[in-house]
């Protein structure tokens, strides 16, 4: 919370956001200070976290900062609005807590990302798909194949792949009783259920990866 504020914020505001008493908040501030957090301020004035904490100068090299900046700019340019805003905020937070010379590397990197083409028809679906993946929720979709034929399906989405020209949802499909990949731009209707799917996302991911590895290995053997 302190990292989000560049100017002092009162104990009352911090306590209100955390849902604790100001007495508890003052105690927590002293605990953080004892653990090395450079928090300035006092009761009645407000508190501020000095830049550099958690991201000291030696944590990132210049190459690492350029890699972070390039990756975040890719997200800003090639994803939906919500994810682009998150990437922009993240880049700003990183630059704000870096030393001045290192922040200049993040803000003025010579690595240029050419403009990417927006993926038509997919952007509106991506926030709901990400939410369903994080919460491990079932999703009811209407999906059109390459010929335009629609089917109604219930899927368990666990991954979202960002290819240059398409966005692909990897999921367990209840209709096919198997893993399937769905192009986000071909999802014509989508509703995130409040029902969690019965297996954990990590388990689905691991099983799918293992199956893909076996299938790719078999295909390579056939070619040989």
Cβ-Cβ contacts under 8 Å for 55 (sequence gap 6 or more): 94, 97, 98
- pLDDT given for residue 115 in this prediction: 73
- pLDDT given for residue 53 in this prediction: 66
What is the C-alpha to C-alpha distance for residues 105 and 110, in angstroms, rounded to an integer? 9
Q: Is the pLDDT of residue 207 over 50?
A: yes
- Summarize pLDDT for 10-34 with one digit per residue, the tens: 999 999 988 899 999 999 999 888 8
Asked if residues 80 and 123 have their Cβ atoms less than 8 Å apart, the reply is yes
Listed in sequence order, the DSSP H helices in the chain are: 11-18, 22-34, 62-78, 81-97, 100-107, 126-135, 201-223
What is the C-alpha to C-alpha distance for residues 56 and 66, in angstroms, rounded to an integer? 16
- The DSSP secondary-structure symbol of 185 reads G
Q: Is the pLDDT of residue 38 over 70?
A: yes
CA atoms within 13 A on the CB side of 53: 17
- pLDDT given for residue 214 in this prediction: 64
Domains of the chain by residue range: 2-49, 52-116, 123-223
Which CATH architecture does the domain made up of 123-223 adopt?
Roll (2.30)
Q: Is the pLDDT of residue 142 over 60?
A: yes
CATH number of the structural domain 2-49: 1.10.10.10
For residue 53, give the nearest of 67, 39, 72, 68 by alpha carbon. 39
Cβ-Cβ contacts under 8 Å for 96 (sequence gap 6 or more): 6, 51, 103
- Summarize pLDDT for 80-116 with one digit per residue, the tens: 888 889 999 998 888 887 777 777 777 777 787 777 6
């Amino acid at each position: 919370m302190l990292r989000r504020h560049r100017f002092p914020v009162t104990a009352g505001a911090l306590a209100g956001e955390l849902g604790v008493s100001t007495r508890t908040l003052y105690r927590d501030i002293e605990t953080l200070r004892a653990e090395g957090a450079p928090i300035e301020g006092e009761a009645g004035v407000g508190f501020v976290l000095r830049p550099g904490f958690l991201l000291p100068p030696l944590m990132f090299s210049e190459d690492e900062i350029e890699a972070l900046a390039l990756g975040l700019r890719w997200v800003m340019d090639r994803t939906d609005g919500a994810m682009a805003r998150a990437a922009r905020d993240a880049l700003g937070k990183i630059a704000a807590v870096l030393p001045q010379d290192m922040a200049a590397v993040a803000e003025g990197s010579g690595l240029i990302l050419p403009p990417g083409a927006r993926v038509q028809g997919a952007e509106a679906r991506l926030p709901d798909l990400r939410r369903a993946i994080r919460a491990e929720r079932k999703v009811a979709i209407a999906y059109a194949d390459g010929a335009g034929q629609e089917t109604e399906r219930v899927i368990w989405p666990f991954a979202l792949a960002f290819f240059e020209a398409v966005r692909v949802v990897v999921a367990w499909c209840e209709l096919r009783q198997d893993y399937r990949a769905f192009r986000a731009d071909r999802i014509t209707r989508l509703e995130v259920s409040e029902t969690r799917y019965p297996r954990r996302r990590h388990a689905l991911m691991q099983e799918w990866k293992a199956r893909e590895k076996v299938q790719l290995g078999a295909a390579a053997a056939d070619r040989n």
